[in-house]
Structure 1
Amino acid sequence: MNRQTQPEKTLAILYQDSDIVVIDKPGGLLAVPGRGPAKQDCAAARLRRRLPKMIDQPAVHRLDMYTSGLMVFAVTAAAHRFLSGQFEKRAVVKKYTAVVEGVFEAPGGEIHLPYRLDVNDRPRQIFDPVHGKLGSTRWLKLDATESTTRVEFTPLTGRTHQLRVHAAHPRPQGLGAPIVGDSLYGSGKEGDAMLLHATFLQFLHPATRQVIQFDSRPPF
């Protein structure tokens, strides 16, 4: 599976009102702009072109470039403050589906792994029980083939590359099964699609204060 730069028409808006926008981000598209002119095309920039009243920095969370799935963006500054507060308090429920390399017997569990940025190999994250910051993930085995396993991940913290690191790190601390297509932590090659999709998102709406939920089926 090849991961190409996504044409703008594929940025699917699932929900939109005067406070928030929820999209289904395609894999291969940045969530927010990076450094340099080549990394300015992103979900946030595309939304701002379509919604002139949206604030300059509407993102309240991130998905890795090659992770697809649900993201919520703020339209107003007030919505941004409210949503950001929910993410900081870990009040937002997120679930992901991934296909990982290998097959294992365990039906599920939790991973609690301290890790940090590898300053000599950015953006790779590395296990560090002394200086690392703890990341926690709940996982559930969904089904399997002869060589891969489909897993549901529920991150309990929001660390950089958390699911990718937790999947790839050797057992017993990690799952010992890198995500298929992950060229940084697994056997994926540059140009492969990474099989990780944000499937569920639940939070309080910034205006109504009511619980709002969204689901997205993985494209794999």
Structure 2
Amino acid sequence: MNPLPPLDYNPPTDPWLDVLYVDRDIIAVNKPSGLLSNPGRDPAHADSVFNRVLAEHPKAQIVHRLDMATSGLIILSLNKDAERHLKAQFRDRQTEKVYYARVWGTPEQPSGTIDLPLICDWPNRPIQKVCFNDGKPSVTHYEVIASDGQSSLVRLRPVTGRSHQLRVHMLALGHPILGDGFYAHDQAKALAPRLQLHAAELSFFHPYSNEARHVFAPCEFYSDAPERTL
């Protein structure tokens, strides 16, 4: 679920499309924060990763999404066979995703698993919330990479892919992601000009060769992350 874009939606345009990898079947793009993954219903919200790729690759299809405020890696298919193959991998949880986030404070445990069911807070959509009665199973592994006392850099590995999962799980842990306009308290929100959440790594099977592949998207607030590519 993408949150509704602000009325003055002005996504970043430089670079227009940060392509990390492309071949006959797939294209990997590093999405900036503030750009929609796919177009909104309003024509004013047409600019998106999908439409930018579609302009150069007319058969492209988006197979997974990131929140507008989240930056990082998105893979798109460039033909029907690749689309079918990749969507099945995401559906069957054969892909592995790694995110980095800068959060408020320092988690008490340096690593752990957050297992809290989530559901849309419908009157306040697109806000999500923990709900043990009707929520869908949602699991995130986390590891603290570094901390300066005021904030911490954490590595996040979602097992499930619920809307706003990482944002709500870190909030539930007591450590909201800095710059989060939906879930962070005022102090955490003020510490960053944008949501400090980045989709950095994706492991999957190439839709043509079926070989295991890995792609890495550089993170602007974590420059020490190792660069790994396909």
CA–CA distance in 2 between the matches of 1:207 and 1:198?
Answer: 24
| Equivalence for 2:194 | 193
Query: Does the Cα contact within 8 Å between 2:107 and 2:144 map onto a contact in 1?
Result: no
Q: Which residue of 2 aligns with 1:184?
A: 182
Q: Is contact 1:30-1:65 (8 Å) kept?
A: yes
**CA distance in 2: counterparts of 1:111 and 1:104, whole angstroms:** 12
Could you tell me how far 1:34 is from its partner in structure 2?
A: 1.5
Alpha-carbon distance, 1:10 to partner: 3.9
The secondary structure found in structure 2 opposite 1:73 is strand
Provide the secondary structure at the position in 2 that maps to 1:133: coil
Deviation at 1:134, TM superposition (A): 1.2
Worse-superposed segment, 7-16 or 18-27: 7-16
Q: Distance in 2 between matches of 1:143 and 1:8?
A: 30
Match of 1:120 among 116, 123, 138: 123
Work out the CA distance in 2 between the residues paired with 1:10 and 1:25.
10
- Cα deviation, 1:171-195, whole Å, max 9, x if unaligned, reads xxxx210000001011326x93110
**TM-score, length basis structure 1:** 0.91
Matches within 5 A, 1:144-159: 144-159=147-162
Q: List alignment gaps of at least 5 residues for structure 1.
A: 170-174
Judge conservation of contact 2:20–2:217 (CA < 8 Å) in 1: no
Matches within 5 A, 1:57-136: 58-136=61-139
Give the equivalent residue in structure 2 for 1:43. Answer: 49
Q: Deviations over 1:131-168 (max 9, x none)?
A: 11111000001000120010000000011110001011
Amino acid at match of 2:104: E
* Percent sequence identity over aligned pairs: 38
Counterpart position of 2:206: 205
- Name the Cα RMSD after superposition: 1.5
Q: Distance in 2 between matches of 1:104 and 1:85?
A: 35
In the superposition, the TM-score normalised over structure 2's length comes to 0.87
Q: Which runs of 5+ in 2 are unaligned?
A: 1-8, 222-230
> Are 1:23 and 2:29 counterparts?
yes
In structure 2, what is the equivalent of residue 172 of structure 1? none
Question: Residue 8 of structure 1 contacts residue 46 of structure 1 at CA under 8 Å; is this kept in 2?
Answer: no
Match of 2:19 among 13, 16, 31: 13
Mapped to 2, the partners of 1:34 and 1:136 lie a distance apart of 28
Q: CA deviation at 1:96?
A: 0.3
